[in-house]
Chains A and B, each alone.
Chain A
Amino acid sequence: MTSSIFGKKISRRSTLKGLGAAATGIVAGPGFVRYAQAQSSAPIKIGFQAHRTGIGAAYGRWYEKTTNAAIKAINDAGGINGRMVEVIVEDDGTDPGRGAEIVGKFATQYKVDVAYGTLFSHVVIGSAPVAGEMKLPYFVVSEGHHVASTKLNRYVFQPGITDVKSQIQAMAPWISAYAGKKVTQIFPDFAFGYDHRDYLPPALKAQGADVIAQIAIPPTESSFTKYFPQIPADTDVIYHVMVGPAVLTFVKELGEFYGGSGPKLFGFIDSLEAVDINSPGLEFLNGSHFWEGAPRYAQDNDTDAMKAYRAAVGIDENGASVDDPKDVSTAAHMFGCWETLYVIKKAMENADYKGPEDRGKLVEATEALTEFAEGPEHPQGPKTFNGKIHQCFGIQNISVVEDGKLKVVHKTTIEDGLYEPEGDYTTQPL
């Protein structure tokens, strides 16, 4: 049977030939190629919610450097499931409102495979509902207890850095044994401080020590001397966790108040991340102790994995940028980015992850993880992972300030930081 269009005769054979050619053309066309390859070689997209600006900017910059280094290492080694990894960075201004909008943007505009990288707790908590509603796996590097508290949702994970409740608990045996039995806490009167306020006293109690005073400093405070007379005279150890721009003033005024004598000092390095320990006014910190997630300064017994990690990220033996010795890193936390990306890789490989339709499988595969061995993928040390509370637990470092450097004097065990789970995310529907 033939028909005529514009005077040209078309046979069934020529029609089929034409359809065949058209189909071939469509398949060969750029749009279709992209679609056909979407499952095989299109990059895996990770939405990086970065604190490029706002109060978290110093951390954010180093989180970004670490992320870029890890992604380069992963891609150089063949990517994830044979696919390259692409990172899409959006600045959240360290603001929870904007953070939530950005996670929504990752899910619905960029259509990323996972969202990742958030540090500040209020941004994590503000963004978590969107991740849950959009069913977008959201891997944070925040150290807050919010994930492990099981108050968020099934799509939020923290597999690359130990949470602060565990960190505090792990510090207690050493403080009690080596620093003193009577502890006064000074902490910022906001949520980061509340974790220390709430979790340190029972942890110390279990070790036979006591918190004898808790001094909360309002978030708007810029001078601290007036709070120091509240420190009881029989204090053995001052436990301080001030953060933010006022920390240098805090440390300087505390030093001037005691004039070189006074109780021992124990702090979380959060106070001085990205700050040179040899800055003017910090001299009196000499001899005091700090918690560090990963050591800022290169240590004599660093593993090859730790050395390789530091070289890849680009930090020198003082924990500053190899390009600028004054640019001090956030070494105690940023390793969490490196390790989280390798956890994402591992979970995607275990789930045989193909694309967003496999997000549920990815969540289950992540929950099924239990241990991360120390090595190039986990240079900070070995970790266990509790899939029910979506939280990892690792070793912690206690360092002393000596000759203008931080030297690790004690490493805790994973068991020091373990606590009873407060819930179970796996009971929530996917």
Chain B
Amino acid sequence: MMDRQQAREIAGNGLWRQNAGLVQILGLCPVLVISSNIVNGVSLGLATSLVMLVSGAAVAALRQFVPNELRSPIFILIIAALVTVVDLMLNAYVHGLYLVLGIFIPLITTNCIVLARAEAFASRNGVAQSALDGLMMGLGLTGVLAVLGALRELIGHGTLLSGIDLVFGAAAADWVIHVIPAEAHYQFLLAILPPGAFFGLAFLIAGKSALDRRAARRVAGPEVMAGSTTVGRG
């Protein structure tokens, strides 16, 4: 089993240090498509987290039976099967939620972050650690999707939380925040269409790098950081 220290390490990696959207830059296809508002972004993020939790645990539990050279096909098989099972279960037992999330679930199979964590983490660690890692990676991605969705929605339409009534029923229609009054018919199409997702993500990545560098400078003192200014990834 894992101790507290290890759990905190895994959570920190998933949520911030190795964030799937901002640092590993994996699984961008669904990220860019879905992040046009907060509600869609968070919905896809939570569905992905659920799949990653289950797939992490399954891969970790079965890893001793998987020959090294057959890792990839077997992990893909496990993930695709689990996505199908989650899809069917949601459709059967929480149909209201499925109507909202349903179109996103097949997108999860195309998200390479799931396979990447199976390969990089779950194939080398215990069941509990791998489940936690999957969940935290998924939640880290959810955070990015929420912020990016908020940004695009705010700049594109002047609203926040639009579409919340699709998740919580018609009563929730009042929860939509109109930062710019609806009567003004404000819109900035670039932010809503796919290019807006690229611009938004670029600003978020730059913002995280800036925060990290400031934190590092504070720890190390200015003289150490003077020589290393790039934070690039190969």
A and B from one assembly?
Answer: no
Q: Which residues of A contact B (CB under 8 A)?
A: none
Q: Measuring CB to CB, which residues of chain B are less than 8 angstroms from any residue of chain A?
A: none
